[in-house]
Structure 1
Amino acid sequence: MNAAPDGSVIRREAPRADLLAFEVKDRITKPDIEWMSSIADAAMKEHGTIDMLLIMSNYEGSDLGARFDGYASAVMARSVAHIRKYVVVGAPAFARAMITLSGAVLPVETKTFDLADEAAAWAYLAEAGPAKA
């Protein structure tokens, strides 16, 4: 499945198996965040270390149930030990500030790009090579 159940998130094709790429196209629902979390969970179990690219082409927030989903929160907490690079394209200003701050205090390298610079984000991740050396 390339799209989440409610369609707010789609999985984008990536050039390597240890790079997950998602595009947020609408308001994120609980079923969609659980779908996305299950893919990330499986990738972390399979590869150990992964990179993640999140493209926020039309982010319109998230439903309350999505923000407080237990499974998604557990996957997010575990991801700190498994994500090498977390790259976000098109993040709103408040999210960009939070991403930058988290990169300063967590062992995950974070980087943000403007939506118009999506190609640069892909190039940055390509240059980085596989997540696990």
Structure 2
Amino acid sequence: MTTAPDGSIIQREAPRRDLVAFEIRDRITRPDIEWMSGIVDAAMTAHGTIDMLLVMAHYEGSDLGARFDGYATGVMARSVAHIRHYVVVGAPAFARAMISLSGAVLPVETKTFDLADEAAAWAYLAEAGPAKA
């Protein structure tokens, strides 16, 4: 596991290279969202299509600068064409609603799990297999 500069995001080890997994542990800062965006950007460049897992263990929101970071926003916009599965564990109710809505209108398969069901989220992605066959 590697940790973002301010420690609010941790990259989790994943069983395959085209799956990027992060744990959100605090209030997300601008340096941390840029760090995470760099990892996602590199994975999309390397693999074309990826899967992404977010575990929101202790999410406390995000700083204003993190929400409006240009690099992070650009990576997020490009990710629509590169992310196959977007899985979130432990999302607050408002985030679950947004994730479900985006899954209905974007070409990304979205799924949410309760924090207690993290193992089921990993199993779901394992069953899906590599993002690009």
After TM superposition, the score normalised by the length of structure 2 is 0.99
Q: Look up the SS of the partner of 2:22 in the other structure.
A: strand
**Gap runs ≥5 in structure 2:** none
Shift of 1:87: 0.0
Is it true that 1:20 corresponds to 2:20 in the alignment?
Answer: yes
Aligned residue pair count: 133
Instruction: Provide the C-alpha distance between the structure 2 equivalents of 1:118 and 1:92, rounded to a whole number of angstroms.
Output: 15
TM superposition outliers: structure 1 runs of 4+ over 3 Å? none
Q: Look up the SS of the partner of 2:119 in the other structure.
A: helix
Shift of 1:114: 0.1
Aligned-residue RMSD, C-alpha:
0.7
Pick which of 1-10 and 119-128 moved more: 1-10
Pick which of 35-44 and 1-10 moved more: 1-10
Instruction: Provide the C-alpha distance between the structure 1 equivalents of 2:12 and 2:45, rounded to a whole number of angstroms.
Output: 20
Shift of 1:62: 0.0
Deviations 1:39-82 (A, max 9, x none): 00000000000000000000000000000000000000000000
Residue correspondence of structure 1 range 36-51 to structure 2 within 5 A:
36-51=36-51
Is it true that 1:82 corresponds to 2:85 in the alignment?
Answer: no
Q: What is the one-letter code of the residue matched to 2:10?
A: I
Q: What is the one-letter code of the residue matched to 1:28?
A: I
Q: What is the one-letter code of the residue matched to 2:29?
A: T
Shift of 1:30: 0.0
Give percent identity, aligned residues only. Answer: 85
**Gap runs ≥5 in structure 1:** none
Q: Look up the SS of the partner of 2:84 in the other structure.
A: strand
Shift of 1:98: 0.1
Partner of 1:115: 115
Q: What is the one-letter code of the residue matched to 1:82?
A: H
After TM superposition, the score normalised by the length of structure 1 is 0.99
